[in-house]
């Protein structure tokens, strides 16, 4: 937090600004000296330490007022800069919390994706079909109700990509659902071809996860 504050302070105050402040201060000293010199200057520089002491007292009194003005200005500016820094910190925290929530949702979806296709085997067709149906519902929920979490889902190309994915899973599920078990399925189909189809569907799901993950990371660029 403090590193950001001083970083912002360095960005605001360049060498030009510092020289400008020094010049303004010296100009103010010269300006406030003119009335004193005109009133008490006489014919030249005095050799009396008393006169110089009186002049020093005059300058000290006037510069005290200038210092007070400068202090008030700097206090206001630092407070404004600190407030700006706090707003930046709040925005960063908001993005972090949002990213953590998105990441949590993404991990759950990715876990269900992996579990679904992990259940694919040549032993229990009905169990796999149920897992595939449940995963397809999860995908539909993702696009129907989580566009506010992943705004990228509202973009035309991604939206179409996910809906095509849902349709593809639905079609393959419908085909598999015609059979009671793998024995019936294998009488008419090749298991190797089915394995390739399922691997392709899983890869498309992983691509959706990757696109969503990239959208989360884009928030911090």
Is 103 inside a domain boundary? no
Residue where one domain finishes, among candidates 43, 59, 93 = 93
Q: Are residues 126 and 210 in the same domain?
A: yes
Is 161 inside a domain boundary? yes
Q: Are residues 155 and 73 in the same domain?
A: no
Looking at residue 121, the DSSP 8-state letter turns out to be S
What residue has token string 């060498």? 15
CA-wise closest residue to 161 among 112, 215, 125, 221: 215
What pLDDT score was predicted for residue 2? Answer: 43
Is 173 inside a domain boundary? yes
Residue where one domain finishes, among candidates 27, 59, 93 = 93
Is 113 inside a domain boundary? no
Residue ranges in the chain whose pLDDT is less than 50: 1-2, 5-6, 9
Residue where one domain finishes, among candidates 93, 108, 130 = 93
User: In whole angstroms, what is the distance from residue 34 CA to residue 56 CA?
Assistant: 14
Q: Are residues 177 and 134 in the same domain?
A: yes
What residue has token string 């190797």? 192
CA-wise closest residue to 203 among 170, 161, 175: 161
Q: Which domain holds residue 156?
A: 119-218
Q: Are residues 196 and 141 in the same domain?
A: yes
What pLDDT score was predicted for residue 93? Answer: 74
What pLDDT score was predicted for residue 89? Answer: 73
Task: Determine what percent of the chain is predicted with pLDDT higher than 90.
Answer: 25
Is 99 inside a domain boundary? no
Q: Are residues 83 and 154 in the same domain?
A: no
What pLDDT score was predicted for residue 5? Answer: 45
Residue 176 burial by Cβ neighbours in a 10 Å radius (0-12, 13-18, 19+): buried
What pLDDT score was predicted for residue 102? Answer: 85
Q: Are residues 123 and 213 in the same domain?
A: yes
Q: Are residues 47 and 138 in the same domain?
A: no
Is 104 inside a domain boundary? no
Is 64 inside a domain boundary? yes
User: In whole angstroms, what is the distance from residue 128 CA to residue 136 CA?
Assistant: 12
Q: Are residues 73 and 17 in the same domain?
A: yes
What pLDDT score was predicted for residue 134? Answer: 92
Is 191 inside a domain boundary? yes
Q: Are residues 85 and 26 in the same domain?
A: yes
Q: Are residues 89 and 127 in the same domain?
A: no
Q: Are 153 and 217 in contact (CB under 8 A)?
A: no
What pLDDT score was predicted for residue 1? Answer: 45
What residue has token string 């970083």? 7
Structural domains counted in the chain:
2
Q: Are residues 126 and 207 in the same domain?
A: yes
Q: Are residues 125 and 84 in the same domain?
A: no
């Amino acid at each position: 937090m403090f590193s950001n504050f001083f970083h912002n302070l360095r960005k605001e105050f360049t060498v030009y600004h510092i020289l400008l402040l020094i010049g303004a201060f010296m100009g103010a000293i010269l300006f406030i000296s003119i009335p004193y010199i005109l009133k008490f200057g006489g014919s030249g520089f005095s050799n009396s330490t008393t006169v110089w002491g009186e002049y020093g007292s005059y300058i000290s009194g006037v510069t005290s007022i200038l210092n007070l003005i400068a202090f008030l200005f700097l206090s206001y500016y630092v407070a404004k800069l600190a407030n700006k820094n706090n707003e930046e910190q709040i925005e960063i925290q908001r993005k972090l919390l949002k990213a953590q929530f998105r990441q949590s949702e993404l991990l759950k979806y990715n876990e269900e994706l992996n579990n679904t296709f992990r259940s694919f085997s040549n032993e229990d067709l009905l169990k796999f079909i149920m897992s595939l149906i449940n995963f397809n519902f999860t995908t539909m929920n993702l696009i129907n109700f989580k566009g506010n979490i992943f705004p990228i889902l509202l973009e035309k190309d991604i939206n179409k990509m996910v809906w095509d994915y849902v349709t593809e899973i639905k079609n393959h599920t419908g085909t598999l659902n015609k059979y009671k078990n793998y024995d019936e399925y294998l009488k008419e189909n090749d298991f190797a071809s089915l394995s390739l189809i399922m691997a392709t569907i899983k890869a498309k799901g992983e691509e959706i996860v990757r696109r969503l993950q990239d959208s989360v990371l884009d928030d911090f660029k």
